[in-house]
C-alpha cells in the first residue's frame, strides 16, 4: 500500500503532501525532519505531520527524502502543541515551525549538496576514559608503574586521573580538550589500551552534571508553608498561582521545587520576562544548580540555540532551562514543572509576528495537556490569573511578608497640581521629591526614578483641575492626533474635537501631555550637578553589554541616580536603593487601554518594590495630578485585591476580558484609500455575522509604518459563546474577503488575546 506524509514546511502556506519512498515506510514517523523538494529547484527541511494512505487530489506527487536525523526532531507532544498554537492563535503550522525551530535546524538549498551543507552539524568532541580492564586502584597503580620508562605518557595518565573526582575515576570521562598534555602522548595511551576515546556530540554542559541535591537556602517558616501548600495543591490542580509580595522570597521557593523535580530526573522550564534575563538572576540560580542551568534567550546565536534544542531533544531530563518566552518551544520531557515568574508581564506575549502567542497561557495549556505542573508567580498577578485562581481553576498560595527584617516601603502621593499652584514645582519635580532626592544623596544612598515609556502616547489633560479626555464608551483615555486636531478612542473609533476650554473647570484649554526619560536626565544634571546619574531605556540599552554595565555600575554604587522606563523596575535587587520616584503616574493611568489601571497598579507596585530591600525602610514618592484616582489610593494602601475588584466590575460592565475574549486584526497597505475601503468591507462582512461585537475600523496611534498605512479592527466575543467557533467563522470571512482582487495585497495580521 502506498503511504503519504503531510509535511509541515517553514512557509505560510499549507497542505503539502508527499509520497513516502518504499524503503522509508516504517522508518518515517511523525515529528521526523526530512528533506523535501518544492517547486522546480528548491529543497526544504520539513517535519512529518501525519502519515496516511490517502493520495492528495493533485497529480505529480513528489517523494520525501530521507530523515535528516534518526530520531524525531519534534516530539508527539510538541506536534500537538504546534497544532494547538496554530488553531488557537489563527496561524499556519508553517508559521509555528518557522518560529519554533532555530534557523540552523531548518536548512534549505537549491541542491542536495547545498541543503546538506547548510545542515546543522553538531559539534563533535572526543571524550576519554580509563579502559574497562583498569577498574581498581591496584590495576591503576600497576599501569602507572609500567609506564616508568615513558615518563611523558606516565605524566599524561596521572594528569588524566587528576581531573576526575575520586569516586568517578573508573567510570567517569572527561573531554579531551581539558587534558593539557601533548596529543601524541594521549594517542599512545590509547594505542596501548590504557585510555579509551569516544567521539560524540558535545553536551551543552561540560563534564558531569552538578550533583544533587544542591545546597539550598533554608526557607523561613512562612516560605516552607507556602512551598508545602503549592505541592499539596498540585495533587489536584495543574496550575497554581503564587501571589507573593516583592521581596517575599518567591525565587527561594522556586529553587526548592526545582531541586525536587531535578532529583526525580525531570527537567524544569523557568520563564522570566526578557529583560529580567540579566546576569543577576542567572548567577543566583547558577550558584545553586551549576551547569544544570541552561539560559535561553534572544541574545544567543542561532547555533547556540540549535545546540540547546538538539541537546534537550536527545538527552534525558535533569536540566533547568531559564528562559524568555521563546523557551516554551524547546523540546521538553513531559510531566515536568513549568514556572512562569512575573506572570503578569506583557512581554510574555509576542505581538510583532506570528505565532502571536502568550507564553504563560501556553505553559498552562502544556501543563494541563500533558500532566505537568505550572506555577505562576507574581507580586501583582494579572487579573485573568487571579480570576482563575478565585474561581478555583488554579490553586492559590499567598506570601504576605518580606524576607528578613525588610519592610515594604512607605508610599507618599504628591499632588502635582497643588504643588504647581503653591509654586512648589520645578519643571517635572515636586519639591517633596527634590528634597527627598537631596536627602538621600546626602545620606549616600541610591535613587531610582521611573518614567513610563508609554507616556509618548499623547493624551490631553487640564493642568488646572486634572480633567482628562476619555471615551464615553470604552473607559479609556482618548489619544490626541495632533495633525488633525482630534481626539480618538483606539478601541471603538469614537472621536471628538480637541476642546477649546476644559469641560470641567472651564478655565484654559487642556494641554497635550507626555514627556520622556531623556529630558528628565537632563534636568537632573542641572538640579544635582554633583550626582552621578545614568539612564536606562530602549534607547540607551542598545546592547546587552551596555545594559549590564549600567546595571552592575548601579549595583556597585558607582551611580547615584538611575532614571529609566519600565525596564529598570523588573526583578532587580539593589540593596542600596532607598528612594523610588514615579515621575508621572498619570501617564500610566491615562494610557488608552482597558488594562491601563491594572498595568499602572502593577508597575507602581513593582517600582515601589525596588525600594528598601534591605532593612532600611524605603520611601516611594508618586507624582500625580489625580491623587484621588482609585488606583493611586489602592497603590498607597497596597490593596491589590481592591484593585482587582474595581477592575473586574468595570470590565464586567464593558465586557472586557476575562468576561470576553478579544481578537485584534491589523490591516496594512501602501494605498490609504484602498486600505480604508478594504477595512470597511471587511468590517461590513464581519458585522453580518458578529453584529455589534465588531469595533472599528480605526487608526492606531502610529498610523503609518515604513510607508504603509495601518488600520485596526477589534472583535469581542463574550465568554458564553464558543471562541473556537468564532475563530472558524472569522477565518472563513477573511478567506472570502481576500478573494476580492482589490484586497489581495492587503496584509492582515491576527492577534488573538491582544495584550
Closer residue to ligand ADP in complex, CB, 603/699 = 603
Backbone φ and ψ of 199, nearest 5°: -105, 125
The rounded distance, in Å, linking the Cα atoms of 317 and 265 is: 5
Helix (H, G, I), strand (E, B) or coil at 710: strand
Closer residue to ligand ADP in complex, CB, 356/610 = 610
Site for ligand ADP in 536-575 (CB under 6 A): 573
Q: Which residue stretch of 28-36, 45-53, 199-207, 470-478 sits at the interface with Zn ion (rule: CB under 5 A)?
A: 470-478
Task: Choose from Zn ion, ligand ADP, none: what does 373 bind? Cβ within 5-8 Å by kind.
Answer: none
CB 189 within 8 A of CB 156: yes
- 140, 190, 492, 498: which one contacts Zn ion (CB under 5 A)? 492
Q: Which residue stretch of 154-162, 243-251, 259-267, 455-463 sits at the interface with ligand ADP (rule: CB under 6 A)?
A: 243-251
The rounded distance, in Å, linking the Cα atoms of 44 and 115 is: 8
Task: Choose from Zn ion, ligand ADP, none: what does 473 bind? Cβ within 5-8 Å by kind.
Answer: Zn ion
Cβ 277 to ligand ADP shortest distance, Å: 15
Backbone φ and ψ of 415, nearest 5°: -80, 115
| Residue 619: strand pairing partners | 410, 579
Number of residues forming the site for Zn ion (CB under 5 A): 14
The site map against Zn ion for 427-466 (x = CB under 5 A) is: -----------------------------------x-xx-
- 4, 234, 319, 403: which one contacts ligand ADP (CB under 6 A)? 403
Closer residue to ligand ADP in complex, CB, 246/479 = 246
Q: Provide the sign of the torsion angle of the four alpha carbons 603, 604, 610, 615, taken in this order.
A: negative
- 92, 223, 416, 712: which one contacts ligand ADP (CB under 6 A)? 223
Q: Which residues of 732-744 are buried (b: 16+ CB within 10 A; e: fewer)?
A: ebbeebeeeeebe
| Residue 728 parent element (H or E) | helix 723-738
Report which residue's Cβ sits closest to ligand ADP: 249
CB atoms within 10 A of CB 637: 11
The rounded distance, in Å, linking the Cα atoms of 34 and 116 is: 11
Task: Choose from ligand ADP, Zn ion, none: what does 370 bind? Cβ within 5-8 Å by kind.
Answer: none
Cβ 575 to ligand ADP shortest distance, Å: 8
Task: Choose from ligand ADP, Zn ion, none: what does 465 bind? Cβ within 5-8 Å by kind.
Answer: Zn ion
Q: Which residue stretch of 96-104, 356-364, 486-494, 677-685 sits at the interface with Zn ion (rule: CB under 5 A)?
A: 486-494
| Contact call for residue 219 and ligand ADP (CB under 6 A) | yes
Cβ 343 to ligand ADP shortest distance, Å: 12
Closer residue to ligand ADP in complex, CB, 285/643 = 285
| Residue 648 parent element (H or E) | helix 640-654
Alpha carbons within 13 angstroms on the beta-carbon side of residue 353 total 9
Cβ 320 to ligand ADP shortest distance, Å: 16
Q: Which residue stretch of 219-227, 272-280, 433-441, 587-595 sits at the interface with ligand ADP (rule: CB under 6 A)?
A: 219-227
Mode of pairing for the β-strands spanning 16-19 and 108-109: unpaired
CB 170 within 8 A of CB 134: yes
Cis amide linkage into residue 658, ω under 30° from 0 = yes
CB 32 within 8 A of CB 72: yes
| Residue 373: strand pairing partners | 337
The site map against ligand ADP for 178-217 (x = CB under 6 A) is: ---------------------------------------x
Alpha carbons within 13 angstroms on the beta-carbon side of residue 691 total 2
The rounded distance, in Å, linking the Cα atoms of 373 and 266 is: 12
Task: Choose from Zn ion, ligand ADP, none: what does 489 bind? Cβ within 5-8 Å by kind.
Answer: Zn ion
| Contact call for residue 494 and Zn ion (CB under 5 A) | yes
Closer residue to Zn ion in complex, CB, 502/667 = 502
How large is the angle between the packed helices 183-191 and 151-163, nearest 10 degrees?
Answer: 90
CB 275 within 8 A of CB 328: no
| Contact call for residue 292 and ligand ADP (CB under 6 A) | no
Closer residue to Zn ion in complex, CB, 88/695 = 695
CB 660 within 8 A of CB 690: no
Task: Choose from ligand ADP, Zn ion, none: what does 247 bind? Cβ within 5-8 Å by kind.
Answer: ligand ADP
The rounded distance, in Å, linking the Cα atoms of 254 and 270 is: 9
Site for Zn ion in 498-527 (CB under 5 A): 502, 504-505
Q: Which residue stretch of 44-52, 242-250, 533-541, 582-590 sits at the interface with ligand ADP (rule: CB under 6 A)?
A: 242-250
CA-nearest of 321, 319, 320 to 296 is 321
Q: Where are the beta strands (DSSP E) in 249-304?
A: 268-271, 293-296
- 31, 244, 331, 409: which one contacts ligand ADP (CB under 6 A)? 244
Task: Choose from ligand ADP, Zn ion, none: what does 246 bind? Cβ within 5-8 Å by kind.
Answer: ligand ADP
Burial of 191 (0-12, 13-18, 19+ CB in 10 A): exposed
The rounded distance, in Å, linking the Cα atoms of 741 and 588 is: 43
CB 583 within 8 A of CB 451: yes
Q: Which residue stretch of 1-9, 241-249, 580-588, 710-718 sits at the interface with ligand ADP (rule: CB under 6 A)?
A: 241-249
Cβ 406 to ligand ADP shortest distance, Å: 7
| Contact call for residue 247 and ligand ADP (CB under 6 A) | yes
Binding site for Zn ion (CB under 5 A): 462, 464-465, 467, 471, 473-474, 489, 491-492, 494, 502, 504-505
Binding site for ligand ADP (CB under 6 A): 217, 219-220, 223, 244, 246-252, 403, 573
Amino acid at each position: 500500500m502506498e503511504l503519504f506524509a503531510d509535511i509541515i514546511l517553514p512557509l505560510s502556506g499549507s497542505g503539502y503532501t508527499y509520497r513516502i519512498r518504499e524503503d522509508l515506510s516504517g522508518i518515517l514517523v511523525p515529528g521526523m525532519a526530512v528533506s523535501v523538494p518544492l517547486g522546480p529547484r528548491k529543497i526544504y527541511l520539513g517535519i512529518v505531520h501525519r502519515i496516511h494512505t490517502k493520495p492528495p487530489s493533485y497529480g505529480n506527487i513528489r517523494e520525501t527524502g530521507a530523515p535528516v536525523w534518526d530520531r524525531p526532531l519534534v516530539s508527539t507532544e510538541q506536534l500537538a502543541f504546534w497544532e494547538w498554537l496554530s488553531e488557537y492563535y489563527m496561524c499556519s503550522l508553517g508559521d509555528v515551525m518557522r518560529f519554533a525551530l532555530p534557523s540552523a535546524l531548518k536548512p534549505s538549498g537549491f541542491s542536495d549538496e547545498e541543503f546538506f551543507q547548510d545542515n546543522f552539524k553538531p559539534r563533535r568532541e572526543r571524550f576519554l576514559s580509563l579502559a574497562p580492564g583498569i577498574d581498581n586502584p591496584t590495576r591503576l597503580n600497576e599501569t602507572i608503574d609500567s609506564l616508568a620508562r615513558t615518563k611523558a605518557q606516565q605524566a599524561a595518565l596521572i594528569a588524566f586521573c587528576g581531573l576526575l573526582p575520586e569516586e568517578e575515576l573508573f567510570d567517569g570521562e572527561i573531554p579531551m580538550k581539558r587534558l593539557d598534555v601533548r596529543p601524541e602522548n594521549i594517542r599512545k595511551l590509547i594505542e596501548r589500551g590504557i585510555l579509551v576515546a569516544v567521539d560524540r556530540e558535545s553536551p551543552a554542559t561540560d563534564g558531569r552534571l552538578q550533583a544533587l541535591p544542591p545546597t539550598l537556602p533554608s526557607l523561613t517558616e512562612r516560605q516552607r508553608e507556602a512551598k508545602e501548600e503549592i505541592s499539596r495543591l498540585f495533587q489536584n490542580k495543574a496550575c497554581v498561582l503564587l501571589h507573593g509580595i516583592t521581596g517575599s522570597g518567591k525565587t527561594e521557593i522556586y529553587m526548592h521545587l526545582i531541586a525536587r523535580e531535578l532529583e526525580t530526573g525531570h527537567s524544569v522550564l523557568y520563564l522570566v520576562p526578557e529583560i529580567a534575563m540579566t546576569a543577576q538572576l542567572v548567577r543566583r540560580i547558577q550558584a545553586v544548580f551549576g551547569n544544570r542551568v541552561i539560559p535561553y534567550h534572544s541574545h544567543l546565536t542561532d547555533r547556540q540555540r540549535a545546540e540547546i534544542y538538539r541537546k534537550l531533544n536527545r538527552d534525558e531530563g535533569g536540566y533547568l532551562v531559564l528562559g524568555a518566552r521563546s523557551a516554551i518551544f524547546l523540546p521538553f520531557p513531559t510531566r515536568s514543572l513549568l514556572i512562569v515568574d512575573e506572570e503578569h508581564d506583557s512581554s510574555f506575549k509576542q505581538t510583532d509576528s506570528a505565532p502571536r502567542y502568550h507564553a504563560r497561557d501556553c505553559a498552562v495549556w502544556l501543563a494541563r495537556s500533558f500532566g505537568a505542573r505550572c506555577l505562576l508567580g507574581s507580586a501583582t498577578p494579572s487579573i485573568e490569573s487571579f480570576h482563575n485562581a478565585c474561581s478555583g481553576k488554579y490553586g492559590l498560595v499567598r506570601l504576605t511578608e518580606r524576607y528578613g527584617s525588610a519592610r515594604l516601603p512607605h508610599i507618599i502621593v504628591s499632588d502635582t497640581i497643588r504643588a504647581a499652584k503653591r509654586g512648589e514645582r520645578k519643571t517635572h519635580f515636586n519639591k517633596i521629591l527634590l528634597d527627598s532626592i537631596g536627602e538621600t544623596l546626602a545620606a549616600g544612598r541610591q535613587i531610582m526614578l521611573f518614567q513610563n515609556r508609554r507616556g509618548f502616547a499623547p493624551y490631553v489633560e487640564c493642568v488646572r483641575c486634572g480633567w482628562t479626555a476619555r471615551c464615553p464608551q470604552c473607559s479609556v483615555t482618548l489619544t490626541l492626533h495632533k495633525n488633525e486636531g482630534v481626539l480618538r478612542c483606539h478601541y471603538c473609533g469614537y472621536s471628538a474635537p480637541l476642546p477649546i476650554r476644559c469641560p470641567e473647570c472651564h478655565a484654559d484649554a487642556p494641554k497635550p501631555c507626555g514627556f520622556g526619560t531623556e529630558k528628565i536626565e537632563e534636568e537632573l544634571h542641572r538640579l544635582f550637578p554633583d550626582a552621578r546619574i545614568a539612564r536606562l531605556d530602549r534607547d540607551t540599552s542598545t546592547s546587552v553589554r551596555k545594559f549590564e554595565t549600567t546595571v552592575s555600575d548601579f549595583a556597585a554604587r558607582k551611580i547615584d541616580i538611575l532614571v529609566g522606563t519600565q525596564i529598570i523596575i523588573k526583578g532587580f535587587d539593589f540593596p542600596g536603593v532607598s528612594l523610588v520616584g514615579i515621575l508621572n503616574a498619570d501617564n500610566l493611568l491615562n494610557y488608552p487601554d482597558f488594562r491601563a489601571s491594572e498595568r499602572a497598579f502593577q508597575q507602581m507596585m513593582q517600582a515601589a518594590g525596588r525600594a528598601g530591600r534591605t532593612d532600611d525602610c524605603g520611601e516611594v514618592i508618586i507624582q500625580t495630578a489625580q491623587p484621588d484616582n482609585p488606583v493611586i489610593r489602592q497603590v498607597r494602601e497596597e490593596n491589590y485585591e481592591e484593585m482587582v475588584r474595581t477592575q473586574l466590575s468595570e470590565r464586567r460592565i464593558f465586557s472586557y476580558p476575562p468576561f470576553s475574549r478579544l481578537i485584534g486584526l491589523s490591516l496594512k497597505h501602501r494605498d490609504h484609500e484602498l486600505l480604508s475601503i478594504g477595512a470597511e468591507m471587511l468590517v461590513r462582512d464581519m458585522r453580518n455575522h458578529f453584529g455589534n461585537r465588531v469595533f472599528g475600523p480605526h487608526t492606531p496611534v502610529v498610523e503609518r509604518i515604513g510607508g504603509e498605512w495601518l488600520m485596526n479592527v477589534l472583535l469581542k466575543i463574550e465568554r458564553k459563546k464558543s471562541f473556537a467557533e468564532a475563530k472558524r467563522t472569522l477565518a472563513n470571512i477573511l478567506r472570502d474577503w481576500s478573494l476580492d482582487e482589490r484586497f489581495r495585497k492587503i496584509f492582515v495580521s491576527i492577534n488573538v488575546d491582544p495584550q
